[in-house]
Amino acid sequence: MKKTSCFSINRKKHQVLLIMKIIFTIIILSINLGFASNGFSQNDRLSVNMKQKSVREVFATLEKSSGYRFFYNDAFTYLDKLVNVDAEKESLNQILDGIFKQTDFEYKILENKLVVVSLKEDLLQAKYKVSGNVTDQDGQGMFGITVAIKGTQKAVLTDVKGNYSVDLTDKNSTLVFSYIGFLRQEHKLTGESTVNIMMQPLIKSLDEVIVVGYGTRKKSDVTGAITSISSQSLKDVPAANLSQALQGQGAGIDIQKSNGNSKPGQAPDILIRGTRSIKAGNSPLVVVDGIPFDGNINDFNVDDIASVEVLKDASSTAIYGSRGANGVILVTTKRGSLGIRKPIITYSGYTGFNKNLGEFPMMNGEQFALLKKWAYYIGKPGTYTGINDPKIMTDAFYPDEQQGLATGHGTDWQKLIYKTGITTNHQIGVSGGTDATQYAISGGYYNETGIYYGQSFKRYSLKFSFDQQLTKFLKVGISSLNTFAITNGEDSQNSASGSYKVEQALKANPLSSPYDTTGALRNSFVSGITTRVWNPLADLIDGAVIENRKRLGSFTTFYLEANIFNGLKYKLNAGAQLQSDVYGNFYASKTTINLGSLSSANNQTRTNSDYTLENILTYDKIIANKHKINFTGLFSFEDNVKASNSFGYSGLLSDNSQYFNPSLGSNLNGTGSRAEYALLSYMARVNYSYNDKYLLTLAMRTDASSRLADGNQYHTFPSVAVAWNINKESFLSNSNVFSYLKLRTSYGSVGNTSISPYQTLGLLSSLVYNYGTTTTTGLYPTGAPNPTLGWEYTSTANAGLDFGLFKNRISGSIELYHAYTNNMILPQSLPATSGIPNSILTNTGKSENKGIEIHISTVNIQSTEKNGITWTSDFNFFINRGQITQLNPTLATTYNGKPADIGNKWFVGQPIGSIYDYQKIGIWQATSADTLAAKGLGLTTTGTGSVIGQIRVADRNKNGKIDAGDMYIVGSPQPKWEGGTTQRVAYMNFDFTVVAAARIGGVITSSLFDGGTNALQGIYNNVNIDYWTPNNPTNEWPKPNSAQTSAVYGSTLTYFDASFLKIRSLSLGYNMPQSLMKSTGMKSMRIYATVSDPFILFSPYRDKYHGIDPETSGTLNVDSPATWSMIFGVNITL
Amino acid sequence: MKKICSISAILFTCLLIISGCTDKLKENPQSSLTPGFFATPQGFQSGLDAAYAGMRNLWGSQNFFTLTCLGTDEFSTGRDGNNDISKYNSNYIPTNKYSTGVWEPCYTFINTCNGLIDNASKITSIDTVTRNKMVAEARFLRANYYFVLVQFWGDVTLNKHFQSLPTTSATRDPQAEVYKFIIQDLNYAIAKLPASPFTSGLLPGKANAAAARHLLSKVYLTRAGSSAKDPNDYQNAYDIATALIANKATLGLNLLQDFGKINAEGNESNTEVLWTIQHTTNLTYNGTNDLCYLFVPVYQNMPGMQRDILNQRSYDRAMPTRWLTDTVFRDKTNDTRYSKIFQTVWYCNNAASIPKWPNPVPAGVNPALAGKPKFVLGDTACYMPGVDVTDAKIASTRYSLIPPRKYTISMYPAMNKYFDTKRSDMMVTSNRPVIVWTLDETYLIAAEAAFMTGKITEAVSNINIIRERAAYPTGNAAAMDIQPSDLSLDFILDERSRELCGQMIRDWDLARTGQMQSRIVKHNSDARLNFVVPKHLLRPIPQSQIDAVTTGTPYPQNPGWF
């Protein structure tokens, strides 16, 4: 029997009832208990022959051969003493007498085959009494902590409230507090009678129970690739939302800002083990308390989360069949704890500020004026004698600009639009419970304002959970997460101008002033040669721009658990999710959005309702002590309905009416939609383990999705996994090096249908027309039906090695995987001649992802003193390589000799999302050689369209002309490798945490360097680049040209090395000493300061091209820039 | 026992749930419609409405305008105009958005028309006459779409039937086949459609036989100039045009007395207009019509001026060539057309920017005026006399006097055929219907067809009808007449410019008559630098089309393009 198992009893629910019965005995005896039985009786004879074995091992042998159970305090050093036992048909008493001779110990054999080992009575004679309370970091009393007296064999355990009381013979003794998974603490007594201790978690324990799909397992019993993230890790770096909190926490989890978007309330994109699908979605499935969550990840208050597990391989995710292909994130929320306790009240709060991490590198007035002169000189060949021709001044520059240039009063628009944002977070929680009832309630408030005016995200959350034991075999529980979130200033890309509000400000003429001569705001176009940029400050006028989203979300799960008979359990798990999302916007006439045209308003309402019903049957059986079997059977059904409608109107009678009443405007337009899908699933899983050494998991799931074509709705996803706990083998059991070693391998198949409903049916779109005053709405075919659309599924082979070295001072895991995606659901663009303008979804082709993930945790310095230095590190490193391996076999086109669908930019042998463009090899120079070469390619070398000074692209196919065949794969967003590290140092009551992340390789597309902000036309302000002029024959950037709205082949200027190394956070915390706490009545209090995203240590995009932050999933938009923030917080437990 | 009850209850619940769930796997889209709807009467009507609405992607769009008007002998590129396609330089490549933007909607709405025509027989609840009339409308529209395609691209894919299933292969059919198909459609349409736009009860913008007859004569005339020509094409074109002209009285059609009224704002359904693409002041149903902006120079930069709705929003895309303003419209006395379709004077609307006389004043100006404003609100701020004046005269004129030699790509006479001064707002798109086919062109088609078949007298008489009308009200009509000796293909093309310039047909006129290269090189100072034959005679097949044909034979590009 494992001696440590009792120390973790409060974590193992299925032993709870049993344990409760014997708690009393444990406390009295101050020893460690377990329980089992077989047929041996006290008078039977045993033969034991052991040489130089520890007392522990002797006990273990005796337990096996006698069937008696031994109970003793694990902290007794005597247990490690080596002894010889040479018994030939002796009774148990005889053998034990031999062992305990001349020790401080005695034993008692109890009736129910228990052997209790304890200190001799006379040693327990005490002179002093010391008592106190042991708590965890949240201030919750910890049960089962060993409190030993250093240098003696004496020790006691804490009770369920964490209280202990120990009798001493020497008042200057040292108390040693220990518990597996926690830092051992010593306390030298100086005569005090009360010692309260807060335990600090050490590294993750292998006995930790982690959540797997439809159940929990001990970490050592897990067969799949799972990254487990505790609430402690989540707490290290306070984050606005879950995905931000997971950033850099695990290997294989790639979290990037969506399109570089840093606005408040914007959740980053999560990618687990790369991109495998083109259309069916790459976002992982989020499962909260067992129920798939179909909502906004921003709705979580991170404080409500107890733990997060990320399932990565097919064996772990196959039980989520249909949607597991992109990984599964299991979120377990906090619930009330078992035990007799008074309520625990917690408060956590922080406040701080955020600022932009930099400014976009735009030109100042002087630089822009020079660009403009060149643009005119080059764009109107023969018109001007040079850039200093006074005619340029009068032709190209408005009086206002001329004045700005003369006085040197340029405008740095960015300075005017950015501000400092403020973040505030408060969370109060109460939890408690009895044996039968547990509850937890928490309320939170989060408010963040952005760095651009009008941007904010506010969230009110209320969570409660309630668990009740109804009868001996029936338990029910409910948990509900409720959120009301308000997002302001989303600033989605403006359809009229195609740009964001910040981009408008970047394009604004730096020679113009936002104010007139009287100092009043000019509510008009920014003066300049063009009338296309409205004064960006006009958007900041109160009530001019309203963008308001109110989201009300409720996610409630309910379970009923029945212990039918020994080991057989039934669980009904039901979840309901309701969300309503109301979005309204209003733009006054005089804004960058409407440019003086009619004011406009839009109102959208979206509702999302989802329910899931799961019937789960589990059966646990241990046969002959060695064969552990766990069976799980599942039937589940999910139904999801999303409905929305939207109406827009313009020409409002009063700006004050905002978006609230369309009858106060005209030109009303409306749309609506309703989409429903259903998913029906059956699953069976068997876990088998032999002697805790050999583990096997078999799972099979069948899913039916309404979103697929008739006849292709059902698919079965099998999986198998085996694992070997090598450290349990005899050849390693005495190893000083390996404290843990496990080899795992799995293979399985997972599906993906994250597509919108009704894709298989074809579509008619509507459009409007009129015959005179008769108005009408027409319908025309835009989508073709695909009557054969079926499942996209991914088969993954995974091999993993988990290890713990030197008593787990170094631990970690290595994963290797290879995932094959079949029947990829691809959106295929059809030729216009097909008559179908929309792309259609087809099952075409295959892709694969392979990679390696390494995670290492080390305890670099472990203090044995309470106030010593402890330094721990986590490292993760991962590589993923994805590629398309097969496309439609009838495909006639190729790239590099391999099939390629050029229209859709899919290339066999290349990652999904590859960038396909011309190859910029420089700038056409004004030399006779270049002119000749350009003419040879049929390029224009005179007039406004002359290529001289323009981007020179390579004639890669050497056919003497620049044609579509010259395009090539520039790269892909896929990085070479990614990694992260978390370093934690604790000293005295201080702790310091640094999280760093690196993403090396890959290509980003930055729209800052294309079109709008890099037009080089001399109309809009431009990125400050070293452009080509006849005097500056650079090969980097092309010439300005007033006759051109953007550079030809300008897209080739937008590709940059995506690499970065950044500090995600720096955090310094201080735990108030227990002595101070007592007087305040608080159990614990921690104060901290955290800086998020403070430095980008390395980034070619930032260092060389003065971009702000290369971190993005998808194109890096010209949007509100990246931010850094600093917060100050406090956590209190009462 | 209690346990057994509970277990049974649970199992029973499970069974109930499973049986109810499988029904949910059947999809029922309630907020969208699927192609099956086309086979219902409502679907048929709405499909036809969409086929009409699809035309807004052509007439009224900047794409179509760019392809037909710019880079011709009539118009070159304004300052904000496209510098690639309109100048035929090497930046004009098969990914060009203007040509792609015309190619794609044509095929989308041809498929819509095909869906209607193929499904018609299934709709029995509509009476045969009405149904045939609706099919005729669809065929008239389909003929228009194909006529656009064949003129720009030559051989094109000919889809005769509805394609509801996705396809990734396509071939190009000989243009002879396409023309044949267009002619069949138009003959059917002529037989079944209401006779005239003025047929009682016919809604504005609806297809009618008169428009179809005009179009058919134009199709014959165009085919005659193509490689698919048939020996009878000119004769057919002449006969059909002449017959339409002869029937004009019974159809309620007639030439207007005043040329200036054809394109006058608010007068889009005059007796000379055969067919229009509709727009409305009801912005919800209006769609996009950008034409009012495109021919407008940056007048607001002139002293004393600012942007206003009367003078339009200046997109500055199309600058008339000097050949158009100076040569084609050389006669500005008897021929009143130039003055009616070009804005050459702007009246001061901005007190803040009224210029002051310098000190000392230029020669010929009263010295007392030194430092005084040159003019006041409402006075002429800018004038283009159309003839040269001396620099001294310019200096001593109180308003900006701009002779032709001073035209720039930002300031030139503005063609006003599409001006829309009644929009609710400067930024709002035009709500004027776009005139597509007009009766004056029928005369010019007849004249051209007659000329090509040697019927010089008939050609001259048709042209003279148009020219005499152009003298109204101040010119000498008789002096407008031409003699057979004056007639040439060049003259016909010049006359078409005088009558129809800017009406989104010029590119085809030049292609049909084989004069594209010669006239662009002669008259368009931008485009002449780069125009190459045969490459620029046809538009490039959009790269997206070539790339998306992934099965079967690769989709062929036009000659010279790569």
| Cα of A1000 to nearest chain B Cα, Å | 33
Q: Give the dihedral of Cα atoms A360, A362, A365, A367; nearest 10 deg.
A: 150
Q: Is A963 on the interface with B (CB under 8 A)?
A: yes
> Closest residue of A to B202, CA-based?
A771
| pLDDT the model gives residue B312 | 92
Note whether A500 and A1119 are within 8 A (CB): yes
Q: Which of A572, A672, A771 sits opposite B204 (nearest CB)?
A: A771
| pLDDT the model gives residue B16 | 56
Please give the helix or strand (H or E) that residue A820 lies within, else none: strand A810-822
Q: Which of A680, A706, A770 sits opposite B27 (nearest CB)?
A: A706
Q: Is A636 on the interface with B (CB under 8 A)?
A: no
Q: Identify which has the larger pLDDT, A25 or B139.
A: B139
Q: Is A781 on the interface with B (CB under 8 A)?
A: yes
| pLDDT the model gives residue A31 | 34
Q: Is A518 on the interface with B (CB under 8 A)?
A: no
Residues of chain A with pLDDT under 50: 1-39, 203-204, 340
| Cα of A361 to nearest chain B Cα, Å | 26
Q: How far is residue A764's CA from residue B50's CA, in Å, rounded to a whole number?
A: 10
> Closest residue of A to B146, CA-based?
A833
Coil vs helix vs strand at A303? helix
pLDDT tens per residue across span B499-540: 999 999 999 999 999 999 999 999 998 888 889 999 999 999
Q: Which of B18, B90, B427 sits opposite A940 (nearest CB)?
A: B90
Nearest-5° Cα angle at A153, A151 to A154? 105
| pLDDT the model gives residue A5 | 36
The distance from CA A845 to its chain's CA centroid, rounded to whole angstroms, is: 29
| A833 with B159: Cβ contact below 8 A | yes
Q: Is A782 on the interface with B (CB under 8 A)?
A: yes
Q: Which of A589, A595, A616, A833 to mutate to test the interface with B (most CBs of B within 10 A)?
A: A833
DSSP one-letter string for A572-626: EEEEEEEEEEEEEEEE-SSSTTTTTS--EEEEEEEEEEEEEEEEEEEEEEEETTT
| pLDDT the model gives residue A8 | 36
Residues on chain B touching A764 (C-beta within 8 angstroms): 32-35, 37-38, 43
| B529 with A564: Cβ contact below 8 A | no
| B107 with A833: Cβ contact below 8 A | yes
| pLDDT the model gives residue B439 | 97
Residues on chain A touching B167 (C-beta within 8 angstroms): 830-831, 834
Tokens encoding B269:
């359904």
Q: Is A827 on the interface with B (CB under 8 A)?
A: no
Q: Which of B12, B14, B25 to mutate to test the interface with A (most CBs of A within 10 A)?
A: B25
| Cα of B278 to nearest chain A Cα, Å | 6
ipTM for the predicted complex: 0.94
Q: How far is residue A145's CA from residue A147's CA, in Å, rounded to a whole number?
A: 6
The distance from CA A1111 to its chain's CA centroid, rounded to whole angstroms, is: 15
Please give the helix or strand (H or E) that residue B192 lies within, else none: helix B175-192
| pLDDT the model gives residue A728 | 81
Q: Is A476 on the interface with B (CB under 8 A)?
A: no
| pLDDT the model gives residue A636 | 86
> Closest residue of B to A772, CA-based?
B204
Residues on chain A touching B3 (C-beta within 8 angstroms): 473, 564-565
| pLDDT the model gives residue A29 | 36
Q: How far is residue A270's CA from residue A981's CA, in Å, rounded to a whole number?
A: 18
Note whether B537 and B511 are within 8 A (CB): yes
Note whether B57 and B103 are within 8 A (CB): no
For residue B41, cis peptide bond before it (omega within 30 degrees of 0): no
Q: Which residues 609-628 of chain A have a CB within 8 Å of chain B?
A: 613, 615
As to burial, measured by CB atoms within 10 angstroms (0-12 exposed, 13-18 middle, 19+ buried), residue A188 is: exposed
| pLDDT the model gives residue A123 | 54
Question: Across chain B, what does the average pLDDT equal?
Answer: 93
| Cα of A519 to nearest chain B Cα, Å | 18
* Identity of the residue numbered A711: G
> Closest residue of A to B525, CA-based?
A943
Q: Is A871 on the interface with B (CB under 8 A)?
A: no
CA distances from B462 to B261, B330, B332, B483 (A): 20, 21, 21, 12
| B111 with A835: Cβ contact below 8 A | yes
Query: Per-residue confidence at B418, pLDDT binned at 50, 70, 90?
Result: very high
Q: How far is residue B233's CA from residue B218's CA, in Å, rounded to a whole number?
A: 10
Q: Which residues 838-867 of chain A have a CB within 8 Å of chain B?
A: 840, 842
In the block, residue with structure tokens 């040479």? A86
Q: Which of A781, A785, A945 sits opposite B115 (nearest CB)?
A: A781
* Identity of the residue numbered A539: D
| Cα of B192 to nearest chain A Cα, Å | 20
Q: How far is residue A861's CA from residue A986's CA, in Å, rounded to a whole number?
A: 10
